[in-house]
Structure 1
Amino acid sequence: MVHGFTKTVDLKINVVSDEIYFFGQPEESAGKVLQGTVLLTLTETIKVKRLTLDFKGKMKVQWTEGPQHTHKQERSIIQHEWILLPSQNNKRPHIVPAGQHSWDFTLTLPGDLPPTLQAEMGKVCYQLTANLERSGGFLLHNTIQRKKPIRVVRSVLPSEFELVQSLEIHNTWSEKMIYDISLPSKLYAHNAIIPVSFTILPIANKLRVHAIMVTLKECCTYEANDKRKTDSRIIKINRQENPFSQAVVNHDGMPSTPWTRVLDVQVPARSPMIFCDANSDMIRIRHKLKFVISIVNADGHFSELRATLPIVIMDSFGPTISAASAEALTLPTYDESWRSLPYDRHLWDTLRQQNGSTHTDLMDSRQPVTISSFTRTMTLTSSMVPCHRLENTTMDSDLEDETVTPHNEANDENWWHGVDLSRVPSYHSMMDMDPTVPTCTQLPPAYDPIWQRCFSSS
């Protein structure tokens, strides 16, 4: 409410969502729709000169060098305006009665918008602003303004495998040791834990690891009016002294197995403790992990090995995917292969030939069919499966014999012995295959005889 309007005006901006998620890189990301409603609630009739709504996105960079030298630049990213109640040519105001009034709005946002960012020397922000101008200059507050910040977030696509694949450094250090440093992924969100695995196998005698250390660093580069400033800072450090003090060595001072240790690095939960990665013409933010392995040589002097791996810090991984969608996108494990029905060519040929069966018939006749000691409930009618194939369909789980009578191969002149080569058999069907049936000795005929046969017949 606004006191200058005698508490009669209530102006609000309601949006479907104040967070807009873009997936993928800017050049491949699809646009999203920003939509909502401007709501005006009045307790009495008022005169309105103009009502507008605008959406603005801007990028701003500013830093100071010396006591009075400031570099500053501001750029508009996107701007759009809706005229909800326009100014009339005759300068007469709109008479808006008491009650509740609403105006819907939609705007398609391009997929290459930079994400919202609030860094130390730069920011990217988006905002909706509604302005209501009341007619009459005698009023103390003749304009009411409401603002609604909109947060733009960029997330990754499942196809961006280079971000979710593991990273590894594997090398030999000047005949001192073989070392391996690995990360499970290149991509991490706020409040995530980065497990860094060290695997070390000494080559030199009496070599000892004094310490291992992991440092999370952030590098921010800002540009304003062709001037550039780079700011680097350390976000987190994890150091472990004598990480392999309990390692077992042989009588010659050499370890029997490689030494392993995992150091966890906690990503801060929010800004400004850490900023997300950014890549625009004015603000660029990068992150990297620096590794240090400090060793004590046999003669007592210290040596250090240093390595670096780049990582990506994102605000989040996007809205939660439903369990059903996640399951649909996940490939089954090998252990789950028993859930698939082992392939039988004659059964599938019979199913293909039963085109006249209705859905009702199938639903009313369910029979358990046991194949390779695994029972499945299949929607089959008795007319769809030959009687001789339903014999011995229930057996104890410890039996290994084929429970469905195999197809009579005496009348089958096909060289592939009843195997449909257009389908890959399941794991258990291959395990339960009759060893007396030749599989590799009778190969398909060569292409040349097939080609000669076709042309000789014509």
Structure 2
Amino acid sequence: MVFSGPELNINLESDHLVMHGRANESSGCVLRGVLNIHLKQSMKIKSVTLIFSGTIQTSWKQPTGNGHERRIQQERSLITHRWPFISPTYDKTHVLTAGDHTYDFELPLTGDLPETGNVANYYNVHYQLEAIIQRSHFLPNYECQRVVYVTRQLNSTPSYSSLIEPISVDNQWSNKLYYDISIPSKLFHHGDVIPVAINFIPLVRGLKISHLNCTFKEYATCGPVDGLFDGRSKSHSKILYYTRNNQPAKGKVTDSSDSNGNPVTTSNDDDDNGAPWCLNLAVPIPKALDEIQCDTSGGVVHIRHQLKFVLTMARRSGRLTELHAVLPIIIQAKPNGLLPTYNQCDGNQTYPYDPALMVRLLRRNQQQQQQNHISRSPQEDEMQQPSSSIDHTALATTSIQASQSNEITSNLDNHPSHHSILSSSSHSPLASDNPPISSASRLPTYDEVHCH
């Protein structure tokens, strides 16, 4: 008989936590989630532990004289918290029966914790959750990790209305060329696309536009705090997107793709003073949090983003000239949802966080995923990526149904301890059949609902 190992998953309400305000004024945030263990058959274990840890790593080269250098590396622990869901006992094992075993957890994080940040080869702040199933005797343990991102939004940043207003740069270059580069907003989120509208109009004869380079860059700088980096700031930049577009022939309108496969629309009309050029670009923003960082200007790390344009022109004499333009871009965490109105924060319309509801939804999602896996073809299954985030829309409807039937209390203070074990789904009262979930509402987080 071949033993099948457990399926170990760390499901979070959100793996991107946002702290508002500087370190000395922020109220912090809350990390919430559920550890789920699925067993196809019973297993003997010694303990089940979940660990949340945060570390800061710094590295730089310091001159020692005579042209020699030495590399200095430091690592410091920022936070460590343990949840002993099943505590180890001396010379004794526990038996986990087949089925689902779920353990909810919650941890308030103080506002003075540094945000997740990375300046390549110099500075790195990293947070993660690690679940460990310790097995008996000399058998190997089962482990699972999940990265948690912590970002900070300062209260001194411009208002939201000013960030979503269109911005543009337009001018005349030496009375020879008029240019206009605009975007509909300065604020964007992970996975968005930046639409850029560009117009070039030559004002003199003999001036020919050759090509345009567009670069989306991230700049990260860390300061010499507490004597780090030998008293000097360290910087690093990386290119997130790059494209080059050549001007088409006169009088042609083309719909094509750039060097990265993104759609580009260009138009070129004949003109006595030269060939004007209208260009529309679609600049993609990476979806993954580890590929692009949020803008920040407080603390040790300063992160900013820019769209840089370089236009190359040829004069009548054949001399090449470059025109440079820059547009600032602000990357922020995508909001979880809108704040409820005052009338919605009354009676049964409030949606407080309840770990039991999360467990209920997770089990239902697992059943739906299993049914979808059976009904999908192998090609569709490869394209479908599993999601470990919590569906707030379904959870909100479950919360309403639970509050109306008085099956689950909406007061978190009366909920059992977070270290309690929720037994197998076959014996849990939460595993009963439920009506279909509507997609009309969503469960706000604690940061969004301030009345319970």
What's the TM-score once normalised by structure 2's chain length?
Answer: 0.51
1:302-323 CA-to-partner distances (Å, cap 9, x unmatched) read: 3322122222345x6255789x
Q: Verify the 8 A CA contact 2:19 2:29 in the aligned structure 1.
A: no
In the alignment, does 2:305 pair up with 1:287? yes
Aligned equivalents of 1:32, 1:311: Cα separation in 2:
28
Q: Which residue is 2:245 aligned to?
A: 240
Q: Which residue is 1:317 aligned to?
A: 334
In the alignment, does 2:19 pair up with 1:19? no
Q: Give SS of 1:161's match.
A: helix
Q: Which residue is 2:53 aligned to?
A: 56
Partner amino acid, structure 2, of 1:57: G
Alignment of 1:40-439 (within 5 A): 43=42, 53-62=50-59, 69-82=70-83, 93=90, 98-99=95-96, 104-110=104-110, 116=116, 120-121=120-121, 122-130=123-131, 139-140=137-138, 144=141, 146-152=143-149, 154=151, 160-222=160-222, 226-227=228-229, 228-242=233-247, 245-246=250-251, 247-248=268-269, 253-254=272-273, 259-268=277-286, 270=288, 277=295, 281-298=299-316, 300-313=318-331, 317-319=334-336
1:320-358 CA-to-partner distances (Å, cap 9, x unmatched) read: 789x99xxxxxxxxxxxxxxxxxxxxxxxxxxxxxxxxx
Larger RCO of the pair (alpha carbons < 8 Å, separation 6+): 2
How far does residue 38 in structure 1 lie from its aligned partner after superposition? 7.6
How far does residue 84 in structure 1 lie from its aligned partner after superposition? 5.2
How far does residue 300 in structure 1 lie from its aligned partner after superposition? 4.7
Aligned equivalents of 2:188, 2:133: Cα separation in 1:
44
The 1:65/1:215 distance shift into structure 2, 3 A limit, reads: farther
Q: Verify the 8 A CA contact 2:44 2:135 in the aligned structure 1.
A: no
Partner amino acid, structure 2, of 1:245: K
1:184-215 CA-to-partner distances (Å, cap 9, x unmatched) read: 22234455433322223444344332333222
Q: Which residue is 1:355 aligned to?
A: none
How far does residue 110 in structure 1 lie from its aligned partner after superposition? 4.0
Aligned equivalents of 2:237, 2:16: Cα separation in 1:
29
The 1:297/1:79 distance shift into structure 2, 3 A limit, reads: same
Aligned equivalents of 1:25, 1:116: Cα separation in 2:
15
Aligned equivalents of 1:94, 1:102: Cα separation in 2:
25
Partner amino acid, structure 2, of 1:109: L
Partner amino acid, structure 1, of 2:186: K
**Structure 2 unaligned blocks of 5 or more:** 252-267, 342-452
How far does residue 243 in structure 1 lie from its aligned partner after superposition? 5.2
Q: Verify the 8 A CA contact 1:62 1:70 in the aligned structure 2.
A: yes
Q: Give SS of 2:241's match.
A: strand
Partner amino acid, structure 1, of 2:15: E
Q: Verify the 8 A CA contact 1:22 1:29 in the aligned structure 2.
A: no
Q: Which residue is 1:36 aligned to?
A: 34
How far does residue 53 in structure 1 lie from its aligned partner after superposition? 4.1
Q: Give SS of 2:175's match.
A: coil
Aligned equivalents of 1:9, 1:260: Cα separation in 2:
59
Q: Verify the 8 A CA contact 2:221 2:301 in the aligned structure 1.
A: yes
Aligned equivalents of 2:95, 2:239: Cα separation in 1:
58
1:409-450 CA-to-partner distances (Å, cap 9, x unmatched) read: xxxxxxxxxxxxxxxxxxxxxxxxxxxxxxxxxxxxxxxxxx
Q: Verify the 8 A CA contact 1:244 1:259 in the aligned structure 2.
A: no
Q: Verify the 8 A CA contact 2:168 2:180 in the aligned structure 1.
A: yes
The 1:285/1:71 distance shift into structure 2, 3 A limit, reads: farther
Q: Give SS of 1:226's match.
A: helix
Q: Verify the 8 A CA contact 2:119 2:235 in the aligned structure 1.
A: no
**Structure 1 unaligned blocks of 5 or more:** 326-458
Please, what is the CA RMSD of the aligned residues?
4.9
Q: Verify the 8 A CA contact 1:53 1:129 in the aligned structure 2.
A: yes
Q: Give SS of 1:105's match.
A: strand
Q: Verify the 8 A CA contact 2:117 2:301 in the aligned structure 1.
A: no
The 1:300/1:195 distance shift into structure 2, 3 A limit, reads: same
Larger Rg: 1
Q: Give SS of 1:185's match.
A: coil
Aligned equivalents of 2:186, 2:162: Cα separation in 1:
8
Partner amino acid, structure 2, of 1:61: T
1:139-177 CA-to-partner distances (Å, cap 9, x unmatched) read: 435x95644324226598996234332221122222223
Q: Verify the 8 A CA contact 2:119 2:222 in the aligned structure 1.
A: no
Partner amino acid, structure 1, of 2:193: I
1:372-413 CA-to-partner distances (Å, cap 9, x unmatched) read: xxxxxxxxxxxxxxxxxxxxxxxxxxxxxxxxxxxxxxxxxx
Q: Give SS of 1:71's match.
A: strand
What's the TM-score once normalised by structure 1's chain length?
Answer: 0.51
Q: Give SS of 2:138's match.
A: coil
Aligned equivalents of 1:313, 1:86: Cα separation in 2:
42
Q: Which residue is 1:450 aligned to?
A: none
How far does residue 71 in structure 1 lie from its aligned partner after superposition? 3.5
Q: How many residues align?
A: 306
How far does residue 180 in structure 1 lie from its aligned partner after superposition? 1.6
Q: Which residue is 2:394 aligned to?
A: none
How far does residue 55 in structure 1 lie from its aligned partner after superposition? 1.7
Q: Verify the 8 A CA contact 2:269 2:277 in the aligned structure 1.
A: no
Q: Verify the 8 A CA contact 1:32 1:111 in the aligned structure 2.
A: no
Q: Give SS of 2:13's match.
A: coil
Partner amino acid, structure 2, of 1:170: D
Identity of aligned residues (%): 28
1:258-278 CA-to-partner distances (Å, cap 9, x unmatched) read: 753223334455477655545
The 1:93/1:235 distance shift into structure 2, 3 A limit, reads: closer
The 1:109/1:94 distance shift into structure 2, 3 A limit, reads: farther
Aligned equivalents of 1:219, 1:76: Cα separation in 2:
26
